[in-house]
Amino acid sequence: MALAKPDIKRTALIVVDVQEDFCPPSGSLAVSGGRDIAPAINELLSLPFALKIATKDWHPSDHVSFDTSHRSPDIKPFVSKITIHNPDDVSESLEIPIWPVHCVQGTKGAEIISELDVSKLDHIVEKGRDKRVEMFSAFSTCFGTKSNAASHDLASLLRQANITNVFLTGLAGDFCVRSTAMDANKEKFKVYIIHEAVRSIDSSEAGWGVVQGEMVGKGIDIISIRGP
Ligand code: VGL
Ligand code: ZN
């Protein structure tokens, strides 16, 4: 495999949210083709990356992004948005999308799919644990804050291991992979997206196409497992 440029000894592989609820046939928020990325990710997991990390969306059952957490019958998953406030600064607010219930802590839907070789992982980062805020990125909440909404401070974990490059894979390309990539880039890691190892909720040009353009515009590279 020709993964030439980045020094693998200073590179972390991050596998974002490859969990049952994001995969067909029965995931509550299934991403088309989600399960099909397992072979590519396993191939990467067999390589000597300095650090191999998976993230799990890990929500309490009354998380603010769930349709069931809101009484109004007008609130519908995938179409509605709601405004939430930063618990640390209530003057700050943000619109977030509403989803079906997914990845509830301890449920089958929150498990990493069994096709993945989890024995190769060094760490599993749980994120989205604070019911009051959304957390697409594994680095920070939707308000950019680092809090116990995640089990680890991912940037510190990477820096302690002398990581300078991050290879990103997983689900969903247009949400958690995108936000994690943007934050990794802000944290000054060189970010590579492995495109065969990502699937998106909206895989159209208007969805994943636009997101890719946005990432490339920030200096993020989108590469193939087969080489540049
Ligand atoms: C995700 C929607 C809601 C993701 C997580 O992992 O991309 N998407 N929660
Ligand atoms: Zn979620």
The CA distance from 198 to 107, in Å, is 23
Assess whether the C-beta atom of 99 lies below 6 angstroms from ligand 1.
yes
Q: Edge-to-edge strands of the sheet including 123-127?
A: 123-127, 51-57, 11-16, 165-171, 190-199, 221-223
User: Could you tell me if residue 119 is left (phi over 0), alpha (psi between -120 and 50 degrees) or otherwise beta?
Assistant: alpha
> Could you report the predicted ipTM of this complex, rounded to two decimals?
0.99
Starting from the CA of residue 78, give the closest ligand.
Answer: 1
Q: What is the mean pLDDT of the chain?
A: 96
Assess whether the C-beta atom of 208 lies below 6 angstroms from ligand 1.
no
Catalytic position from the list 57, 127, 174, 190: 127
The CA distance from 60 to 48, in Å, is 34
Q: pTM for the full model?
A: 0.96
Tell me the per-residue pLDDT of 43-98, one tens digit each, with 9 for 90 and over. 999 999 999 999 999 999 999 999 999 998 899 999 999 999 999 999 999 999 99
Tell me the per-residue pLDDT of 99-116, one tens digit each, with 9 for 90 and over. 999 999 999 999 999 999
Cα 157 to ligand 1 centroid, rounded to whole Å: 22
* 193 in Cβ contact with 223 (< 8 Å): yes
Starting from the CA of residue 56, give the closest ligand.
Answer: 1
Residue 5: pLDDT band with limits 50, 70, 90: confident
- Polymer length in residues for the chain: 228
Instruction: Examine the pLDDT at 1 and tell me if it is beyond 60.
Output: no
Closest CA to 45 of 161, 141, 167: 167
Angle, alpha carbons 123-127-66 (nearest 5°): 145
Q: What residue's CA is closest to ligand 1, atom 4?
A: 176
Residue 144: pLDDT band with limits 50, 70, 90: very high
Instruction: Examine the pLDDT at 3 and tell me if it is beyond 70.
Output: no
150-156 mean pLDDT: 97
Q: pLDDT value at position 73? A: 86
Residue 2: pLDDT band with limits 50, 70, 90: very low
* 52 in Cβ contact with 45 (< 8 Å): yes
